[in-house]
Amino acid sequence: MNNDTNNYSLFWKETLIRIRSEISEQEYFTWFNRLEYESSKLNEIIFSVPSKFIQDQIRQRYIKKINDILNELTGTEIKISFIIKKQSVSQAKTELNSDSDITDKDSAHSNKKTVPKKKKEYASNLYSFDTFVIGDNSSFAFNACMAIAKNPGTTYNPCLIYGGVGLGKTHLIQSINNHVCENTQELNIKYVTAETFTNEFIKSVGDRKTQQFKNKYRKVDILLIDDIHFLQGKSSTQEEIFHTFNDLYDSNKQMVFTCDRPVSELKELAARLRSRFERGLNVDLQPPNFETRMAILRKKCEKQNYEMEDDVLTFISKNINTNVRDLEASLTKLIAYSKLLDKKITLEIAQEQLKDSYSLNREQSIAIETIQRVVADYFNLSYFELRGKKRTRAIAFPRQIAMYISRKMTDYSTTEIGYEFGGRDHTTVMHACQRIEGQFQTDSTMDNVIQKLMRSINEYRRN
């Protein structure tokens, strides 16, 4: 410590005492044990930190608190500056891996406190960013998750990843968890499914341990909750997540959520909670295109050390286009068949073994295709025009009707419907539905048109 004229070290010691009384011991140890008073000059204090990450986190989380206390104590506005000063290997090991006592050098009382060793909490499935195959459908979501994992709490907070079943939401959110556990051990991170969160909350109420439950989820640096659509209709759990969200958001703690559809489509979700999920960055995952499906299959073959002929991979990619999970399941079935029967997979074998899979795939998508064909026929258009890019009124209006009926007659999300209409964004589908609903107010014949088309669709399917 320098003995310069403008020495603020005593003010800094008092600042530390106040901060320590306001935060947990673990939080104090994690951040302020890495912050060293280096020197000072008129109206400025220079601190050293071991990395830019620690500097960014202190700036994001505590700089206002530090400034407020110092300004109050000194009666003037103090500028805070940082320098990066690497720790010695022995010091880093002591801080990250040791269970030894820590002496509070900056406190007037030198009571020793024991800080327990932090355990890594990897997600159950060891997904990683390295094993995620990036395509046009997922590059935005992938890069956002990677940025969050590298510098949590500073940008993209909260983040919501949404998309249909098997498109990679869980892969990405668990990759964030595992990347942080591996590379930033000083952060307290918690990954949980919405179902597990709900079950734990119910148990805590029954056991009268709600405060313990609150502490578990409100003292984290990063909270990751998978499948928030599970929260629909669960008002008490929604209330708890609402308060947890507010507490973490106000403390600049990172939150990431996944959902099987845009939050605006969750019917039994409190409006105030919906607005919070939508507050930050929302990114969607679309079904992978043909090239991405081929890349996924090749990577999985490489991982399993199995060579598959290109014509077989092409067959799978063309016929299994619902999601990544179905795609990988089909490949796994063929590889198992090959190894168990000691047979090389030919195109004929693949067609025979997967006939149920791609037949089911066609059945699952026929609902929207049927709607498109019936609506196109009614307006004297081709099926391909409805799925195409043209936006003339003669095509756009029937397309909006087809989107509206698809929303009414199927369980597909707006994201999935948009994909079936030429890869359009979910907001286009939402606009189409709003437009048609608006027509009901001004055009008395619109309801008759929709009802007639829906009857024709049901008859088409029966025949």
Task: Report, as an integer, the average pLDDT of 174-199.
Answer: 90
Phi, psi for 312 (deg, rounded to 5):
-70, -45
Q: What average pLDDT does the chain have?
A: 82
Cis peptide before 158 (omega within 30 of 0): yes
Mean per-residue pLDDT, 423-445: 87
Q: What is the pLDDT of residues 245-280, one digit of tens each?
A: 999 998 889 999 999 888 887 878 999 999 999 888
**Helices 139-150 and 169-183, axial angle in degrees (round to 10):** 20
**Token output for 253:** 């703690």
Residue 367 or 312, more confident: 312
Mean pLDDT of 136-161: 88
Asked if residues 247 and 221 have their Cβ atoms less than 8 Å apart, the reply is: no
Q: Which amino acid is at 27?
A: E
More confident residue, 230 or 23: 230
Q: pLDDT at residue 122 above 70? A: no
3-state secondary structure (DSSP) of residue 143 = helix
Q: Which residue in 40, 34, 43, 44 sits closest to 85, CA to CA?
A: 34
Residue 358: what pLDDT?
61
- The token pair at 26 is 């673990």
Answer whether 123's CB lies under 8 Å from 177's CB: yes
State percent of the chain over pLDDT 90: 28
- Kindly tell me if the per-residue pLDDT of 317 is higher than 90: no
Statement: residue 123 has pLDDT above 70 = no
Tokens representing residue 48 in the block? 């050293």
Confidence of residue 404 (pLDDT cuts 50, 70, 90): very high
What would the pLDDT profile of 101-117 be if each residue is shown by its tens digit? 333 334 334 344 444 44
Is 447's pLDDT higher than 80?
yes
What backbone phi and psi angles, to 5 degrees, belong to 52? -65, -30
Higher-scoring residue by pLDDT: 408, 363:
408
| Residue 443 pLDDT | 81
Q: Given this model, what pLDDT does residue 113 score? A: 43
Distance of CA 48 to the CA centre of its chain: 33
pLDDT at 80 over 70: yes
Q: In the chain, what are the domains?
A: 9-89 (3.30.300.180), 129-285 (3.40.50.300), 290-353 (1.10.8.60), 361-462 (1.10.1750.10)
Instruction: Determine whether 171 is exposed, middle or buried from the number of CB atoms within 10 Å of its CB (0-12, 13-18, 19+).
Output: buried
The DSSP secondary structure of 269-319, one letter per residue, reads S-HHHHHHHTSSEEEEEPPP-HHHHHHHHHHHHHHTT----HHHHHHHHHH
Residue with tokens 């079935």: 333
The helix/strand/coil state of 411 is: coil
pTM to 2 decimal places: 0.59
Select the more confidently predicted residue: 158 or 413: 158
- pLDDT tier at 204, thresholds 50, 70, 90: very high
Q: Residue 93's pLDDT is what?
A: 42
Q: Half-sphere exposure (CA, 13 Å, Cβ side) for 260?
A: 16
CA proximity to 258, closest of 230, 225, 235, 231: 225
Q: Please indicate whether residue 111 or residue 292 has the higher confidence score (pLDDT).
A: 292
pLDDT bucket at 244, cuts 50 / 70 / 90: very high
Q: What is the mean pLDDT of residues 426-440?
A: 90
The pLDDT of residue 87 = 53
State phi, psi for 188 to the nearest 5 degrees: -95, 110
**pLDDT (0 to 100) of residue 400:** 93
State the pLDDT confidence band at 170, using cuts at 50, 70 and 90: very high
pLDDT interval class at 92 (50, 70, 90): very low
Compute the distance between CA of residue 121 and CA of residue 29 in angstroms, rounded to an integer: 19
Q: Is the pLDDT of residue 191 over 90?
A: yes
Cα 377 to Cα 379: distance, rounded to the nearest angstrom: 5
Residue 159's pLDDT is what? Answer: 94
User: Which residue type is seen at 347?
Assistant: L
- Quickly state the pLDDT bin for 231 (edges 50, 70, 90): very high
E strand or H helix at 36, and its extent?
A: strand 36-41
As a whole number of angstroms, the distance between CA 260 and CA 258 comes to: 7
Percent pLDDT > 70 in the chain is 87
